[in-house]
A and B are shown apart, each in its own frame.
Chain A
Amino acid sequence: MSDDQLNSYEVTTVSQPLDDRTQAVGLVDSGATQYSMNLECPVCHTQNSGSERYCTDCGFLLTESPAEVSEAQIEQPPAKLVSADRVREFPLRLGANTVGRADSDVLLTDNSVSRRHAVITVEDGRVYLEDVGSTNGTNAGGVRIEQGSRVELQDGADVVFGSESLKLVVIATVQESVGESASDDLSATADSPEMSLTDTDSSVATQEADASGIVDETGAQTQDQRALYVLVSRDGSLRYDLLKGTLRLGRRTVENDIVISDQYCSGKHAELEVTEDSVTVRDIGSTNGTLINAVKIAPNAAVPLNPGDEVTFGQTPLILEAIRDEFV
């Protein structure tokens, strides 16, 4: 997946960069003093430097308290379309979503897209696509859709409207609550790695999604559910299973696969790349850094982590252990 894209931000002369990073502070080890300089956003838990008025990530006015709302009350769209370069997202809501160049739910201003181009319907945890008489046609998974016929889309499906290429991402957590009427199908799939909503090609669709990294992007599961390694604290109180794939690690409870509740750990702190026989760690620009065996690693570079190594995120040291087949 494209780490560059996720982690590189334009440098400009603006005094308040609206980027994703926790603001850097001078020293790494003098914990208490640093903390007093930082303002944690009560909404997204990003650490902001004391001079920020609005959270650099979510924009929340830092002097306020957010309204009391549980995460469940904040209704995330059940699915979304993501542009090929992944910089644009188009949320899909339950029911019919119009796709077109004007007055549409999914608004694509490209001239190759018709005013009324297609309709995507999200219902019972499934996603359907219909071309409603576009000039330049709609493709799903490389196949042109007959006008007026409705096809079902898999998670990770490539959809092309005119010359606009998008990928469907079904948001896993909502899937469970969406499909009450189709609970027999969904009870089994809601948490399984094959997030497919339907029939025959599910494994193909899932592999495609994994290859493109789109599923990782949403924080959904990777294809292999079996933990290959584990990160544990010395006293055994913390234990994080490492599944195969790219895992995001940080303090924030959303968008991270591994959540570390340590104030010195950044909202988005590091990424772990886990394969059958290796683990690498990449610090993605954390405030207080990542240490391997007490040596700070450079940001934005993948560093191998071996079983027995101690890796410290913020002020949380963890030991990497491999899980052998015979123990499984």
Chain B
Amino acid sequence: MSDTTQMFPGDDPNRTVVGGIDPNKTQVGGGLGAVSSDADPYRTQMPSAVRSVALECLVENSYALAPEANHTHILARLTGVNAGGGFGQRMPVNVCLVLDRSGSMEGPPLDYMKQACGYVVDLLEPSDILSIVAFEDTAQVIMPARRVVNRALIKEHIMRLDVGNTTNLYDALALAGSQVSSVANPGYVNRALLFTDGEPTAGNKDFSSIVGQVVEQKSRGITFTALGFGYEYNEELLSAIAKRSGGNYYYITRPELIPEIFRKELESLMMVTARNVRLRIRLSRWSQVRQVYGKLPTYGTRSAEVTLADLEKGETQTALIQMELGARPGGTYRVAVVEAIYDDSVTGRTETVSADAVVQFTADAALLAAGENPMVKNEIQIAEASRNLERTVMGMKTQQISTTQAVEEMEKTRMMLLDQGKTLQAQDMQAAIDQIRQGAAAEKTLIGIQLDREKTR
């Protein structure tokens, strides 16, 4: 939780949103309206169990005009809690390395990739499972899924890898999926690490078939992390693979950085505390979900559901939901209940935490200004900037916007990021701007920035 506290300091007025608008009652959750030194305000709602996820639900404005119809946003924040267990305890992982050994990998890239794989083997423990798939014209299983016991032997297999010809990504993903799912025990964090330097050139090369396959495997609990190397790979495809399966996306410019990125990814994998995370918005009468930014919700009777990425300890993911609130008499209403449903690493069960979105409908328009939540406002701004960025990338690709226009747009986004203290993303944005000014293609950098990245650490 220390990261969260840094980001949202103790005098943060937002914490009080849920409870603050209700003067008559003591909080259900206890800590909500209280001082935020209570690091985890939702613990008290679930007193009987220690859970790995804390959920917080913030409303864009705690007031809305009555008796009119309103649009508003609610922000769900999920934080991975280091609950239970001692330090160093983690869920066992079931990892598949999916390695590109097409002709273009020859030389330093292949050598560094092998070195990176060696790191992975060293980081894993005998309780973990590893499989290795390599692909060129076809995909082959280099090592079937098994416990990491004989490290030297596994490394030997890796060292024998040699380059081939083309890039058959589709078959490689299918094979990786079958290796990961060959392990019957559900207690593992499943992930495939896809490493590639090129476009798919063999087998099924269709974008939507490849992404469709990833989505299907995600439904079986397998997350893909995409590591793109060099300048040739298809960044749209790789970012889509990562995004649709809840994995990470990395852009690696130089071969010597490959081992470091593999290590980073594995460490993040070992921090996972909640898997198969879904967010369900249960709607009260007169409430509708208009959209969930960056997500495609599935809608049910008075509910909408989205899938989120695996949640790591100390990490916060957010989902920004736009709501339509129908006309009603003035008063305080719970307009929705937000639930996070996930497989808990501590209890070993599927758990649910929930939080209320409460809005006070009033005829007094003067109250509206007081009810605004700056944190939600910030998220809305980022969501909008992210959309603009997407449009900029698309416009640059189709050459519908000039370099000057693109730089202008990106400069605006960079300033906004700086304003919000997102210095890392602002730096990335600066790098992309510099690339464009020098006449280089900046799409890979831009797509890598992912402003709406639900994850913050």
Binding site for B on A (CB under 8 A): 5-6, 8-10, 12-14, 16, 18-20, 43-44, 53-55, 57-61, 63-69, 73-77, 83, 85, 87-91, 93, 102, 107, 109
Q: In the complex the two chains form, is B301's CB within 8 Å of A9's CB?
A: yes
Does B332 interact with chain A (Cβ within 8 Å)?
A: yes
Smallest CB separation, B318 vs chain A (Å): 18
Q: In the complex the two chains form, is A109's CB within 8 Å of B291's CB?
A: yes
B28, closest chain A residue (CB): A53
Within 8 A of A (CB), among B286-316: 286-288, 290-291, 296, 299-303
A to B CB contacts below 8 Å, 22 in the list: A10-B300, A13-B352, A14-B337, A18-B283, A18-B302, A18-B336, A19-B302, A43-B331, A53-B28, A54-B334, A58-B284, A58-B328, A59-B334, A61-B333, A61-B334, A66-B329, A67-B331, A87-B302, A89-B288, A90-B288, A91-B326, A93-B69
Q: Contacts A58-B284, A107-B290 hold; do A67 and B302 have CB atoms under 8 A apart?
A: no
A255, closest chain B residue (CB): B285
A102, closest chain B residue (CB): B387
Smallest CB separation, A241 vs chain B (Å): 28
Does B25 interact with chain A (Cβ within 8 Å)?
A: yes
A43, closest chain B residue (CB): B329
Q: In the complex the two chains form, is A59's CB within 8 Å of B301's CB?
A: no
Neighbouring B residues of A67 by C-beta, 8 Å: 66-67, 329-331, 361-363
Give complex CA distance A66, B332 in Å.
Answer: 8
Given A54-B356, A69-B330, A75-B327: 13 more A-B contacts, CB < 8 Å: A5-B301, A8-B301, A10-B300, A43-B331, A57-B284, A58-B285, A59-B284, A59-B287, A61-B331, A61-B358, A67-B66, A89-B288, A93-B69
Smallest CB separation, A88 vs chain B (Å): 5
B296, closest chain A residue (CB): A109
Total number of residue pairs linking A and B with CB closer than 8 Å: 114
Smallest CB separation, B2 vs chain A (Å): 30
Neighbouring B residues of A59 by C-beta, 8 Å: 284-285, 287, 333-336
Neighbouring A residues of B334 by C-beta, 8 Å: 54, 59, 61
Give complex CA distance A18, B291 in Å.
Answer: 20
Q: Which of A12, A60, A90, A93 contacts B331 (CB 8 A)?
A: A60
- What range describes how many residues of B lie at the interface? 35 or more
B289, closest chain A residue (CB): A88
Give complex CA distance A14, B45 in Å.
Answer: 11
Give complex CA distance A76, B69 in Å.
Answer: 9
Binding site for A on B (CB under 8 A): 22, 24-25, 28, 66-69, 282-288, 290-291, 296, 299-303, 322, 324, 326-337, 339, 352, 354, 356, 358, 361-363, 387
Neighbouring B residues of A109 by C-beta, 8 Å: 291, 296
B330, closest chain A residue (CB): A67
Q: Contacts A44-B285, A59-B284 hold; do A14 and B354 have CB atoms under 8 A apart?
A: yes
